[in-house]
Amino acid sequence: MRAVGSADHASGYVFGMHLDFDPSLDHAQIEADAIAQNDHVISYPFRRYARLWLKSDYTDYIRQRRRVVKRTGQARDVTNDVADTYDTLAERLDVEVPLSQTFDTTLPTEGMQVHSEYTLYGHFLYLKRLFGGVEKVRFFLDQEPGIRAACLSAFCDEVKARKVDAFYVRINKDLTVNERRHALTTSRDEFDKAKSQYPGLKDSEVKILLIQARLSHMATIGKWSDRWLLHPFPSMSEPEKAICYLTDYGDYAGDHLANLYSKVSLHAIDRFFMQLRRRISLFERPIATASAQGRSWFGYSPYNPEVAMKLLMIFRVFYNYVAVGEDKKTPAMRLGLVKGKIHLDDLIGFKPWNGEYM
């Protein structure tokens, strides 16, 4: 199962976390009604249960899906990863539909799994309602066409009105600690050299100049000829980062555009995912064993996905309102939603006001 989440860049507040699962449905009843309605012979957009994974969908999907072999034998960097991703996307039956099922997965026996593209669209329509009063929104997105399509469809009018911008972000997370440190050292040397050439400029202004220089030498990658900038200032969490501006109308001045590129990052939502896996064993990464023939074992996985859905919701509230960072503030405090940390006892005992006084 997959979940999609969005977090505020500055505060880290997680706006939403949605799993591709509906626990309220009886899969046996839905399957029987789908057969009675001849849902499986109707074109997908016109089906009554188009958003749900039926057994017939799963069988057809596995039969048609092609095995994609990742290229090896070359030096790995973030631009290679971007190019490989485009090649992999070209193998999909529908480029905007994420690969939800594999040859060694099955559908849940409790509730029903929702097609990932429906979850993505639902997530961004939820964000649109949440951001109704926001003057400007900028999205930093994983390199996934399904996410791009959902974001740009939900915010189509806002993009045209120049109230919403969207960027692809790709990060090389496979580097070792020494390789990350080497990338930081190389970046600092480049910055120090530029700083010596422009001694009268602030550090932030020198960074903008370096990004502007790279804007004129961006790489065109993939069958859609997307233009990618290799970010000149890595960090330990994002040692190699490539960025593609998806909503470029060509109406931003060079320094303003460079300033936007300087801010692009997935750190806020990546940190939430990292904390989620670290604190809740159900969401840890799978364990591969020598005798598993390439298969992975999820040692703590719940048999009922509804458990995962509830834990995601609980942890998001804990992360936003209880967990404090090095600044002694919670994400909700940084965003201005609350004045102080919410204690667990208050959170557990909270009862929403029903509009009546005793």
Residues 6+ apart with CB under 8 A from 218: 227, 228, 229
Q: What is the pLDDT of residue 245?
A: 96
Q: What is the pLDDT of residue 106?
A: 82
Pairing status of strand 21-22 against strand 112-113: antiparallel
C-alpha 104 chain-centroid distance? 24
- pTM here? 0.85
Q: Which residues of the chain have pLDDT under 70?
A: 64-76, 93, 99-103, 285-303, 353-358
Residues paired with 287 in a beta bridge: 297
Summarize pLDDT for 237-294 with one digit per residue, the tens: 888 899 999 999 999 998 999 999 999 999 999 999 999 988 887 777 655 555 555 5
Distance CA 338, CA 91 (A): 47
Q: What is the pLDDT of residue 350?
A: 76
Long-range contacts of 99-105 (CB under 8 A, 24+ apart): 99/65, 100/2, 100/20, 100/53, 101/53, 101/58, 101/61, 101/62, 101/65, 103/62, 103/65, 104/295
Distance CA 193, CA 330 (A): 38
Residues 6+ apart with CB under 8 A from 345: none
